[in-house]
Every structure is written in structure tokens, then in C-alpha cells.
Structure 1
Amino acid sequence: MNAADICIIKRDGKQESFSASKISNAIGKAFQATGLEKQEQLIEEITRRVIAHFTHPTLGVEEIQDLVENELMKVQPEVAKKYIIYRQWRNTERERKTQMKHIMDGIVAIDKNDVNLSNANMSSHTPAGQMMTFASEVTKDYTYKYLLPKQYAEAHRMGDIHIHDLDYYPTKTTTCIQYDLDDLFERGFHTKNGSIRTPQSIQSYATLATIIFQTNQNEQHGGQAIPAFDFFMAKGVLKSYQKAIVTDIAFYMEMKGTPIDEKALTEHVRKHLTSIEPDAKAQKAFLAALANEGCFLTEEELAHILHSAHKQVRKDTHQAMEGFIHNLNTMHSRGGNQVVFSSINYGTDTSPEGRMVIEELLQATVEGLGTQGEVPVFPIQIFKIKDGVSYSDADYQKAMTDFEAALNGGMTFEAPNFDLFLKACRTTAKALFPNFMFLDTPFNQNEKWNPNDPKRYRYELATMGCRTRVFENLNGEKTSLGRGNLSFTTMNLPRLAIEARREAERTPGNQSQEAIEQHAKELFLQSVHRMSEFIGEQLYVRYQYQRTALARQFPFMMSNDVWKGGGKLNPNDEVGDVLKQGTLGIGFIGGHNAMTALYGTGHGHNRKAWNTLYEAIEEMNRVADEFKQKYGLNYSILATPAEGLSGRFTRIDRKKYGIIPGVTDRDYYVNSFHVDVKEPISIVEKIKCEAPFHALTRGGHITYVELDGEAQKNVRAIAKIVKVMHDEGIGYGSINHPVDTCHNCGYRGVIYDKCPICNSENILRMRRITGYLTGDLNSWNSAKRAEERDRVKHH
């Protein structure tokens, strides 16, 4: 057939005359991309072969490109690969243009799709939520086109990696932060419209903590955390107690007809009564000081006043904690009509004031929100387990002899906060929080921790509730305070395994199943190493972009020294090296699916699969260590908390590879190194299986177990599970169980279809999504809803 008579049908349906030069040019670009120059004769020969296959007067563009691929594969397979990649990239770019309008139409129509439901914390159908989603999608497109180097944009689009929070990329902001509240409170801080003085009561302490959460949240795209909530609030408890004593004594003395100078009284109270449980010596010294002022109180009168002040401060502390929880669940101050993604860590302040904060916080959490006591979603709460402080094996064994008595205050323990640990377990059974952080797990320890240091919390690991961990530091103090994650990117682990297995099966000489598996494992580990290096470089590129931000872009975080070092910058200074204390996370998803692709089964009960996954994460760590030395930055491996990503990779891979049983046959990939959510495995087995991976994922990790609804009635079982986590070396763990609340009558428990009390179907179903809770499964994307349905209970 004469080439001059050929008509080409383009993708938009238009027709144009055939041009052989267009084929030659495309093939030439593929040769150049492979590094092959001066191949004009071969290119012309391939072009002639393509034309020789023309059998119809009209041909589609895709048909011609298929012919080009086939001919290139015959003579230059490496060039063919480049041509295929380029073709896929161009298709993706074209699809993106048409998809954008489709996405915008879906936002306008408030469709229940995975774009609108990408963040379960956001009400995407509200005007603010819609605007946030519009902005997010448009900004991602801008980032792809103009900010990301092509190789990283291509890898993200194709599903090799996922660069998180691309919509925030142009803003140069960081992910998250953990506040040094003590520093902020003592110095005071300023916002856009004024300065805040040091707070003087527990109510003010709690309120200002909420304000800090809300103000800083809008300068970052991730979560915000308080690493030592009990220590930071304790001062507020003491101040309220001292204020109550001054008020009570002044009133009492006025009633007796001998008024006292309140200023002098206040000074004496602050000097002598430095605890809400002052000992006899302190009380005697205080009475003597009052006597010198002409104010005479008996020991009995003082005891009555102190008792009254203690009752008052407990009431004030409870109201402060109640208000703190209510504010963080009702003040939609984050972009897109969201509440703040907030976390608090506590459990190791043994002072009476810190203990009171913990007690009243736990009580307020159990009481819940509103008149019906709904389970609060925020803040995510983390109870810190520390041997000799909030836990001991001896105390555990003692408590188990009569657990009800231990739980209800009928025992004394050697660890001063062990009773609070038991109360934390009871709260978890009711409200799913707190989660548990294990400070004595070897990789969570800090050699500077000293039980006699009043600020020992500086050397205690704290975490973001979703799991992000910031602790080790090449460029400063090993601490969680005043630092956060800069950015993280996740690799598609199942894809690497699929490709490795297929290549091993194609390799001549691999006759036996064992040979195929061994070769596939070698290829897989090599690809994990390469992909980790690829992500490491991408994170460095993003870091270099982030450090060009000006301090005035983050007025609260930098000028108040929330991110340590930022306070030294002038508004027009680049943030630069201030960011070096942050972390860069190389993440991964789908360990179970990857192992199934290699071995036909996951790592939950297959030792060969478990060893391979462990070696893969070791390989990632080797790369992280290399990049730490190369760039002097805090690279770490992150067990990615995948929400929208769990379905995105799966959809792309199913389209590319088809349905592979156990790999791409569901709507989601299983999170990080977690055992398959559908796999029947005992609580102890699951913990033992996952615990060793925590030491390798120092950018963040979590292990959870899934219980049935009886957990609310069995606090003892919660304590046993936490002990197993403690003994097996878990870094951070949580316990899931269904918590349902009837909107009509307030009944709380496991509700299947209808409320057993009032027969209502209007049920709030509280579940954990990646580390935080959501009370409406309809706000979850399709992949996470599918995963939640598949979760088996562990026994």
C-alpha cells in the first residue's frame, strides 16, 4: 500500500495525512534517550518495517505505536523500553487533561468518590471542603508540570512511588511538629493580632494549648503533637491550686476580721506550697511565714483550706481537660473545614500535678462529647510506658491477683504511675485511646534520660498519633521537641515484587520453583535498593526547595521558635539550615502483597516470606544510612500510614498487571509491614511477627490488634495485650475494637444493624483508619472501607 494514500485518525477523531517522518522522529528520540547516537540508517529501516505492516487506508495512532514497539523489540529491546515508557508518560499526560475537568465536576456535584473522600478528617461537601479539594487538585497539577523534575513526576504518575502531600509542595512547608509547650508558655508567644502572656491557671494552660494547635496547624500540612502533655499542664494545676489557697485564706481571714495583704500571701504560698500535696514540713514553714505577717492559722484550719483548694483544683483541672477535648473536636480551624490533626503524649510525670492532669484527662475522655458521650476523635492520645515509672512486671503480676481491686484503687504499687496505666487501659477499652508508646524498647531509649531530671521529658520519645516518629538527630539534640518531619515518599513494594517474580520466571535456567523464588528474591532486593536511592534523591530535591522558603511564610512557627532555630531568623531570611533537624522519610506499603507476589503467601505464617520482607527493609535502612552520610540529613524508614494511597497503587497495578490473587485482587494494599488484615492470627502471633520491624522503621510505625466488642467489658485483656507488646519490643501499639453509639438514645456498645434499646438505625460507628479515629465510615475512601470490612478479630 502506498504510504501517501494512508490517512491517520488522531485520538480526538480528526484525520490527517500520514507522515513517515513522525515515526522516524519518535524512534530517534527513543534512541537518544538510551544514549545511542548516529543510528539514522537503523531508524529508517525500522520505519520502513512499520510502514510495511500497513494493510488499511486508515489507521489509528495507537495501532501505529503498537507496530513501532514490536519492531523495536526485535532489534533494540532497550530502546523499545524507553519508547514504551515515553508513550505511557504521554498517555498519562493526555489523560490528566481530560481527568481534571472530570475531577472538578465531581467536586461540584459532591460525588462520593475517592478524590472527595481522600481525607476522612475533612468534610469535602462543605464550601470550605470543596475549595480545599479544588485547590488541592489544581495545585497537584501545577506541581507535576512546573516543580517536580520529570523523572520524579513520571515515577509518581506511573505508580512506582507516591510523593505525599503534593498539593502542599509549592508552599515549601513541612509535615508536622512537636511543641515545646513549656518554652512557649514561659516566654509567652505572639500571633498575628497580639501577644500572649504566660498563663496563670490550668484553664488558661489548656486553652492556650488549643490555640497553639490551631494557629500552627495552618502553617503545616500534617499533624501537630504535644510530647509531654502531663509535664506541660502540671504547672497550670499548681498555679490554680495556689490561687485557690490565696483566695480561701484571704476570705477566711476577712471573715475573722483580720484582713491580710494578698500580695504578701501569694508570695508565701508560692514559696512554701510548691505541690498540691504539701508535706508537713512545708505546711509548718508556711504557717510560720503567715504568723510573721500577723496571720494566725491553726494546723486544722490550714488542713481544711488545703483540702478545699485540692477539691477545687481537681474540679478546675477536669473542666480544663473537658474543654480541651471539646475544643479540639469542634473548632474547625484547619483548611477545608477540618479540626486540627492533634496528638498528645503523656504518662510519665509522677508529680501530683502531672498525675492529676492524666487522671482528669482520662476521665474526660471516658465521659466523651456532648450529652450522649460520643467518643472523641481528637486529640490522639498516647500513654508512655516507662519501667519503674508507669509500669513494672512486679506491679503487673500483683494487679493480676485481684484485677478489680487494682483497677479501683485497692492496691499500692512500686511504679508511681502504674495505677494510671491501669486507668489508661480502662479508657482504651471505652474510647479506643490512649495508644501506647514503649520507652524502654531499645531503639526508643535516650542515654540522657535521668529520673531525677525535672525536664526528663526532653529525652523521652513522643510520637504523632498517626505513627510519624522524630527522635534521632544528626544535627542537634536527640529529642522529639521542636522538630518534625520535612516530607516523605512511599515506594510501591508490591510492584517491585511482581516485576521481580515475572523476570525470574522468564529467565532461562530457572527450572524449579525454588530457583525461581531465589532469583526473584535477589532481583526484588536489588530493586528495593535502587528505589530507595531514587526516593532518597527525590527527598533531597524537595528539601533543597523547602529550605528556600522565607521565615515570614511561617510567621507563628518560625518567629515563636516553635520549630527550634526559627526564632533566630529575620522575616525575610530563608529558613535554610533550620530545617536540618527535621526528618526525611523513605516509606513503603504492601509488604504482605509483595511477599504474596513472590511466594504465593504473606509473611504472617511463612518464614521465608518474613525473612525476605525483613531483608528488604534492612536494605532500605542501608540506603538511609548512606544518604545520612552523603547529605548530613535525618533520613529514616517509615511504615507509611496510607489512607488514600492504599487504593491508588492497587488501582494502577491492577490495570497494569491484571488481577493477581492475593496481590491486586482487592481494593487496597495492606499497610506497611502489617500482617494481612484478613489473616487469622492470634494476638500474640501478630505482635511477635510485627515487632522486629519496629526497630527498622524509625521514621514511624504502629502495630495494632483487632478485638471484638467485648473489650469494653474486659480491661484485664487490654492490660495483658499491652504487656505482650512491652515484652516483645513493640515501639508503638494500639488496640482496636468496635465502638458504636446510638444517636437517638445514646446507647454505646457493639451495635450490629439496629440499636438494641430503641431500634434506631442512626448509629455512629467509631473506627480507627490509619492511627486516628473517624466516626462516620461514609467519610472513608473506597479502599479503606474495603479494608475495614476485611479486618478479622484477633484472639
Structure 2
Amino acid sequence: MVAVPLFITKRDGSQQPYDGEKIRQAILKAYRAVGLNDEAQNAIKIEASIHQELAQEGACIAVEAIQDLVERELMNLDPQVAKKYIIYREWRTVEREKRTSLKKTMDGIVSIEKNDVNLGNANMSAYTPSGQMMTFASEVTKDYAMKYLMAPQYARAHASGDIHIHDLDYYPTKTATCVQYDLADLFERGFHTKNGSIRTPQNIQSYATLATIVFQTNQNEQHGGQAIPAFDFFMAPGVRKSFIRHLSDRLLYTLELSEGRVLTDEERKSFTEELRGLAPRLGKGDEEVKELYTKLVASGRSFTEQAVRLALSSAYDRTARDTHQAMEGFIHNLNTMHSRGGNQVVFSSINYGTDTSAEGRMVIRELLSATVEGLGQGEVPIFPIQIFKVKEGVNYTEEDYAVASEDFKGALEGKYTFVAPNFDLLLESCRTTSHALFPNFVFLDTPFNKHELWKEDDPKRYHYEIATMGCRTRVFENINGLKTSIGRGNLSFTTMNLPRLAIEAMHLAESECPAGEKAEVRQLARKHFLDSVRREATFIAEQLYERYLYQRSALARQFPFMMGNDVWKGGSKLAPTDQVGDVFSSGTLAIGFIGGHNAMVAMYGQGHGRSDEAWHTLYDAIQVMNEVAQEYKAKHHLNYSVLATPAEGLSGRFTRMDRKRYGVIPGVNDLDYYVNSFHVDVKEEIGMFEKIRREAPFHAITLGGHISYIELDGEAKKNVSVILKLVKTMKDEGIGYGSINHPVDTCQSCGYRGIIYDRCPVCKSDHIARLRRITGYLTGSLESWNSAKQAEERDRVKHH
């Protein structure tokens, strides 16, 4: 009998002669994967059996059919090795599909399709040439990172939707996610950029301008956001310098008139230096006039009290004007200054509210005023994200709240003297929020936000005040240095697919207990769910460590501004060719999660906004994540924590993949998005105060970052007192970081701002900008959101 030649049909349709050696090598790889290196005889035996069977069937066999035969033979001979072969085969399939998917993605970028790749970042104009280049680079570097930079098990888990490795496109660059910087230190020492050095600024306009330059320059070395943790403290010296300059100018002018001559430059300089020690606190009242007049007379200067009064009044008013213009410029720059491709402006946040000096208070008053005024045509500023730091005794007391509750209008208009020196700024912040959706509120007295070293009389107490990134990332506790938010940030975070774990847990429980009562099945599912959460959190912790080891291998010269200027504390000690190494050990590694509500519906038929049983299960699941974070914090001596993931691009990715895997499950994956982290379902009809109470306990166990939102109906600026009441409730209930949403629509034809339904009520235009919040920051048009986040926004109910 003549042997029939065998051919293999490859996946692209081409054919090649059968090669038994390739099959034997694939089998040997499977054996080596389980630690068996001397199994050549088994490989020969299996290949011979396959060859004999194929010879009887025909002359041309598909490559997939051969792999099926290999699987079968391995299962018969050694199931453990067969499992490794199956996993490897699945991985290769995913890789092939990914390459095909990448081609389709690139085609979509070229043709500027309106798809979720192009709309993955609401802050980027993906249709511009630079935006297209950014999107191209993003997709290619993701592919590169998964193929060559991470262990296959992590790449597989990401590709299959078990986890989501965030900012995967920046993985090869080794950069960190975010940082909060010590602006006072930068201003005091000066700093250098690529083309030169910057001196210490000498007036409030320069302080504000240089702050934007720091933001812009450092943004090129971060893939996430940046924050100023104590904006009022850092800007206050600039106000002081401007005040001294104006006061000196006015008094020198009076002096020249009285002496009938022009003073020399040396005389003017000497007087200004003398005035720095004599000048009273910022103000123009009788107390300040008397203080300065007395000091000037004692120093031998012959000024009249009226001249001093006029000089102080003029200097104060001019300083206030300069400060307002500086804050206007600061806001305008951060909304127009593109720092990266795709017309992206800086992901900027500022924290403030606890500087009680007259200078710091002036900064915030003028900042809030400029925020309400808006941009050129009155548009609400998108950046910076503003966060007011609520602190007992500094800007809040129960006594002050009671006064404001009795007469809110009068309190807002300044009719009362408050116990807390900055309570008036809290009121003004509530008013500003009602117009512009910012500031958000972070609560310094919440137990997990307190710092044992904070002292009211410490001029640098801001080092011990929690400050947050606007999106919610929280950096505070530090196993490798000072507990502070300043000079450090998040290194990376990865999110688990919580609904998938719940679906799998239910399937497993139902298979193990097919005739069981509903309660019995749910109890079993709960155990499986918590076990799987622990496994997934452990898996993510290992993946974060792998990425950390890669990040710490970066050279300092890769981040010349951030390391060279000690923006990330410790970086200035490194030579350009030094590895970043332990400098990055002060950063945080966050285990994230999404879809808590959807997971609970999968198990209990309703979410944790209604079901107490579901609430406790979700709470316990996050506690399990914390246990893993603590274990890995001890194991690697790194700042592991749990993050309530801010999901923008991720919002619909898991949902699409889970629908494909499990089909449509009502209430779980039937919408275009999973609900963020531990949030009560956006569609849940729940009162605003009840929502705060149900979400607050989760803040204490998500120390990598968290936020809770309240959705108001109607125009908030017509009832600002409600915002103050919500701030109090958040404070009382233990919220760490909270935000209040309400509709802000602007007619782009006439500038009318308010709730606009179809057309502008003034000019009847339908050219309307609808400002909404997405993952902590604002976007001026819903059209820039991906489809999942648009769907989520449509579903958001108002809380009453």
C-alpha cells in the first residue's frame, strides 16, 4: 500500500507538508510548562498516534483539527499537561485575534469613526491630527506591553476581561500615574526646565503663572493627573509680596511729595526692605492703619495718619485686583494650555480651604469669584478640579452651621461673625459649586483622614492634611516615609471584574446545589464569591508588583522635571543615569474594582442600595481585598491599598465581554456599563441622605481613593443651602471625599446658563453645551464621552 502524502491547511488557507517535529516540540513545551523536561518518549508516542490516525483520514488536515487531536491524546495520557496545552492554545488564539483587532482599530482611527477607542479619553480631541497620533501610539504600545513586557498570565487576564490593567499604553514608559507637589518648595528654591532656570516669583501674578508652568511641564512626565495639595498656602506669599510692593509704591509717592524730590533707587529699595518688617497683616481697617502708623512714626518716618490710611486702602484694593486677575489667568491657562497630543489640557486639581491668613483667604475668595465668572463667554471652567478641605474649627463649627441654617442669605452676605475663621469661605464654596460644579469637598476630620501630627498653629500644617486628586485617587498613608499627600503619588492600579466573579460564583453554587433552597444557594455563592475575590486580589497584587519592579528600573533622566526638581520627593538626589529605584517606593499600588451593584444583583437579585444582605456581602468583599492589600504591604514593604476605581474607558469594556461570555443577564449586564465601584445604582430611586449613609462606610475601606456623588434636580444656585446641608451630612456620616452634581447647560449662541431642555429659552438656539461630570472631572460636551458613559449619564436619577 502506497502512503498518502499529508498536508496541513494553515489558518490563512495556505498548505504545507505535515511536519511531525513541530507537533513533538509543542507537546514538549506543554510538559516543560509543568516542570517535566525529560518526556521525549511521550511526545514521540503521541505524535506517532496522531500521524497514524491522520494517514487513514485524508491528504489535507486543518491545523485546528491537529491541535484537537493533541489535546485528546494528552488528556488520555496526562490531564495536567493537557490543561497547560489548552491554556497555551487559548492564549495563542487570543493573540491572533488581537492582531486582527488591532488592524480594525487602526482603520477606525484613520477614518475618525465615532467609537469607544476614539472616545476613550473625554479630555482628548481624538479626531485632530495630534489626537490621532496619540490614539495610534496608545493602541500600539498596549499591544507591545502585553506581548513583551508583562507575564503571559497577566496579559491573558487583561485580554479576557478578568482584570483591567489601567494606562496600559503608558506601561512601556515606566512613568507613575499622578503626583501632588510641594509648590512652596519649588518657589522657594526656584526650579529648572529644559531650557533654563526659574527664579523665585515676586508677585501673585507670577506665582499663579509659574504654577501653570509647573503643571504643564510635569504633565509630560505623568500619564495621569497632578494636584496642588495646599493652593491657598502656596499662593499666599505671592499676595503678600504684591501687597508690600503696592504699599511701598503708595507711601514712597507720598514721601516724595512731602520732601519735594525724587528718591534715589537705593533709597526706594531701602524703604521697601524696611517696610517688609513694618507692614501689618493684609487689610485696610482702623486696626491695620493704627498699627502701621505707629510703627512708621517709631521708625522716624513722618507720615500723617490720613496718608497711611489712603496708602493702605489703595494697596489693599490693588492687591485684590491683582489677585483676581491672577486667578482668572490661572483658570484660563489651565483650560487652554495644551500639554499633550489631542488638544489635551493638564489633568489638574487644587486643594484649599484651611489657610486662615488674610493672604490665603484673599486667594480663595478671588479664585471662587473667577470660577463663577467663568471663561471668555462665561463658560464653566473644566479645570482645575477644585477641592475644598473641610476642617472642624478652621472652616466649620456646629455653631456656625446653626447660624447659617437660620439665615443662609444673611450668612452668605457676611452679616454674621463666625467662630471658624474660614466658615465664610465654605459658604462661598457652596455657592460656587451651585454655579460651576466645583469645588468638591474632602473631609479632614473623617477618622481615616486625620493626621496625628496636625496642629492648628503649625504654619506648615498642610503637610499633615489629606489632599486628593480630583478623580478620587488618594495618597496619604506611607509605609516608606512621612504620612503625607505631598511629593508622592500613585504608581499604578488594576481593576477586577467584580460582576464576573459573582456570576461565576452563582453558577458554581447552582451546580453544586441544584435542588437547594434559594437562601442556601446564595449562601454557598457568597462563600465562592469571597474566595474568588481573594484569589483575584492576590493575582492583581502580584501583577502590580511586577509592574512596580519594571517602573523602578526607570532612569532619573526619563523624568528630568519631576526628579530633577524634587517634585517626587527624593528624586533630586539621583544622578540622571541612576535608576529611580526606592524613590518610587513612597508611591501607592492600588487594587481596584468595578460593578459592585451589578455583582450583587447577580447574586441577590437586587443591589446593595436596597438589600442589606447584598450590602454586607459587598462590604465583606472589599474587606477581603483590604486583607490582601495588607498582606502584600507586609510582604513587599510597599503601599498597597484598595481603590474604588474611576472607570471611564473601562466602563463598558467588561460589560461587552461578559455579555458575550454569559449572554444578557437582566439587571447585571443588560446595559452598556457597569456601575462604578461601590456606588449605589445610578438608576436607584434613593434619597440623597440615604445614599450618603449607604456609601459612607465604603470610604473607610477604600483608602486608595473613593468619591460619592449626589445628583440634584433643578438649578442648584436657587437653593445653595441644600449644598451646605449635604456637606454637613457627608461630614457627619464619615464620607472621605464627596461631590454634588447638577445640570449645567450653556447656550453657545447667547451665553444663557441654566437648565436647558431642547432649545435656549432666550434665543431659541439648539447649540447647547451640556456640562456633566465624568469620573471626577467635567467635560463640556457629552459627545466627547464614550458610549458606555453616555448611557450611564442618561440613566442617572436625581436624589431628593
TM-score by length of 1: 0.94
Is the contact made by 1:492 and 1:590 (CA closer than 8 Å) also made in structure 2? yes
Please state how far the C-alpha of 1:268 moved relative to its aligned partner. Answer: 2.5
List per-residue Cα deviations over 1:20-78 (Å, max 9, x = no partner). Answer: 88777666655654567859399849966996999998765556656776887799776
Unaligned residue ranges in structure 2 (runs of 5+): none
Q: Secondary structure at the match of 1:671?
A: coil
Give 2:361's aligned residue: 355
> For 2:49 and 2:517, how far apart are their aligned partners in 1?
41
- Which residue in the other structure is 1:460 paired with? 465
Indicate conservation of the 8 Å contact 1:20/1:47, yes or no. no
What is the match of residue 164 of structure 1? 166
Partner of residue 390 from structure 2, selected from 385, 392, 397: 385
| One-letter code aligned to 1:263 | K
Q: 1:366 aligns with which of 365, 372, 381?
A: 372
Amino acid corresponding to residue 10 of structure 2 in structure 1: K
1:330-341 paired onto structure 2 within 5 Å: 330-341=336-347
Rate the CA distance shift 1:444–1:50 in 2: closer, same or farther, 3 A. farther
CA contact (8 A) 1:467 1:771 kept: yes
Does residue 234 of the first structure (1) align with residue 236 of the second (2)? yes
Matched to 2:599, the amino acid is A
Shift of 1:81: 4.8
- Cα contact 1:175–1:220 (8 A) shared by 2: yes
**Aligned partner of 1:347: which letter?**
G
Distance of aligned partners of 1:101 and 1:262 in 2 relative to their CA distance in 1, 3 Å threshold: same
What is the rounded CA distance, in whole Å, between the counterparts of 1:30 and 1:114 in structure 2?
Answer: 38
Query: What is residue 568 of structure 1 aligned with on the other side?
Result: 573
Matches within 5 A, 1:213-232: 213-232=215-234
SS of residue paired to 2:442: strand
Instruction: Tell me by how many angstroms 1:706 deviates.
Output: 1.1
Give yes or no for contact 1:268–1:290 (8 Å, CA) kept in 2. no
- Alpha-carbon distance in 2 for matches of 1:592, 1:194: 52
Give the paired residue count. 793
Q: Which residue of 1 aligns with 2:786?
A: 781
CA distance in 1, matches of 2:304, 2:356: 30
Q: Please tell me the residue identity of whatever aligns with 1:236.
A: G
Q: Deviations over 1:266-320 (max 9, x none)?
A: 1232102152037877755643554466531122221221111111111111100
Pair 1:691 & 2:696 matched:
yes
Task: Specify the alignment match of 1:515 in structure 2.
Answer: 520
Query: Which residue in 1 is equivalent to 2:483?
Result: 478
Q: 1:476 to 1:412 in 2, by over 3 A?
A: same
Residue type at the aligned position of 1:567: S
Give how far 1:408 is off: 1.6
Alignment RMSD (CA, Å): 2.6
Contact 1:46–1:71 (CA<8 Å) still a contact in 2? no
Deviation (angstroms), 1:605: 0.7
CA displacement, residues 246-277 of structure 1 (integer Å, 9 cap, x when unaligned):
01111122233345532232123210215203
**Residue deviations 1:519-567 (CA, integer Å, cap 9, x gap):** 1111111111111111111111111111111111111111111111111
What is residue 719 of structure 1 aligned with on the other side? 724
Distance 1:49 1:602 in 2: 56
Q: 1:572-615: per-residue Cα shift (whole Å, max 9, x none)?
A: 11111111111111111111111122222211111111111111
Work out whether residues 241 and 313 of structure 1, in 8 Å CA contact, stay in contact via their aligned partners in 2: yes
For 2:339, what is the secondary structure of its paired residue? coil
Q: Which residue of 1 aligns with 2:587?
A: 582
Change (3 A) 1:251 1:658: same
- Matching residue of 2:543: 538
* Alignment-derived partner of residue 324 in structure 1: 330
1:483-498 equivalence runs, <5 A: 483-498=488-503
Taking a change above 3 Å as real, the CA distance of residues 25 and 571 of structure 1, as seen in their structure-2 partners, is: closer
- Alignment of 1:623 with 2:628, yes or no, is yes
1:143 match: 145
Amino acid of the residue matched to residue 746 of structure 2? T
SS at match of 2:652: helix
Asked if 1:243 corresponds to 2:245, the answer is: yes
1:510 and 1:516 in contact (8 A); partners too? no
The residue that corresponds to 2:100 in the other structure is 98
Contact kept in structure 2, 1:493 and 1:590, CA below 8 Å: yes
C-alpha separation in 1, matches of 2:254 and 2:743: 52
Query: 2:28, 2:43 within 8 Å by CA — same for their partners in 1?
Result: no
Letter in 2 for 1:378: F
Letter of the structure 1 residue corresponding to residue 164 of structure 2: H
Instruction: Identify the residue that residue 734 of structure 1 maps to in structure 2.
Output: 739
- Following TM superposition, by how much is the alpha carbon of 1:701 offset from its aligned partner in structure 2, in angstroms? 0.3
Q: Distance in 2 between the 1:787 and 1:201 partners?
A: 45
CA spacing shift, 1:86–1:651, aligned 2, 3 Å: farther
Question: Are the equivalent residues in 2 in contact too, given 1:3–1:51 (CA < 8 A)?
Answer: no
Matched residue, 2:89: 87
Residue 137 of structure 2 corresponds to residue 131 of structure 1: no
Tell me the CA shift for residue 351 of structure 1.
0.9
Alpha-carbon separation, structure 2, partners of 1:293 and 1:171: 60
Report what 1:599 is aligned to. 604
Aligned to 1:13: 13
Residues 212-271 of structure 1 deviation map (CA, whole Å, 9 limit, x = unaligned): 000111011110100000111111111111111001111122233345532232123210
SS at match of 2:414: coil
Q: Deviations over 1:419-449 (max 9, x none)?
A: 1111111111110000000000000000101
- Letter of the aligned partner of 2:170 in structure 1? Y
> When the two structures are superposed, what TM-score results if normalisation uses the length of structure 2?
0.94
Pairwise CA distance, 1:712: 2.5
**Does residue 774 of structure 2 align to residue 769 of structure 1?**
yes
Residue 66 to residue 313, structure 1, CA distance change in 2 (3 Å): same
CA distance in 2, matches of 1:54, 1:650: 46
1:673 aligns with 2:697: no
Q: Report if aligned partners of 2:284, 2:309 keep a CA contact under 8 Å in 1.
A: no
> Are the counterparts in 1 of residues 494 and 540 from structure 2 also a CA contact under 8 Å?
yes
For the 8 Å contact 2:6–2:55, the answer to whether it is kept is no
CA distance in 2, matches of 1:95, 1:698: 38
* 1:451 match: 456
Match of 1:592, SS?
helix
Corresponding residue SS for 1:466: coil
- The separation in 1 between residues aligned to 2:298 and 2:734, in whole angstroms, is 57
| Aligned residues of 1:49 and 1:71 also touching (Cα < 8 A) | no
Task: Report which stretch shifted further, 173-182 or 658-667.
Answer: 658-667
Pairwise CA distance, 1:80: 5.7
Report the alpha carbon displacement of residue 86 of structure 1 after superposing the two structures with TM: 2.7
When residues 381 and 730 of structure 1 are mapped into structure 2, their CA distance, relative to the original with a 3 A threshold, is same
Q: Is the 8 A contact 2:46 2:73 kept in 1?
A: no
Q: Is the 8 A contact 2:284 2:316 kept in 1?
A: no
2:212 paired with 1:207: no
- C-alpha distance in 2 between matches for 1:3 and 1:618: 65
Indicate conservation of the 8 Å contact 1:207/1:324, yes or no: yes
Q: Is contact 2:133-2:341 (8 Å) kept? A: no
Distance in 2 between residues matched to 1:500 and 1:654, nearest whole Å:
16
SS of the residue 1:556 aligns to: helix
Matched residue SS, 2:723: helix
Aligned partner of 2:183 in structure 1 is 181
**Per-residue displacement from partner, 1:343-382 (whole Å, max 9, x unpaired)?**
0000111111111111110110000001x20000000000
Q: Equivalents in 2 of 1:28, 1:4: separation in Å?
A: 27
Structure 1 ranges of 4+ moved more than 6 A: 17-25, 45-50, 52-59, 66-77, 278-282
Superposition map of 1:257-406 within 5 A: 257-258=259-260, 261-277=267-283, 284=290, 286-291=292-297, 295-370=301-376, 372-406=377-411
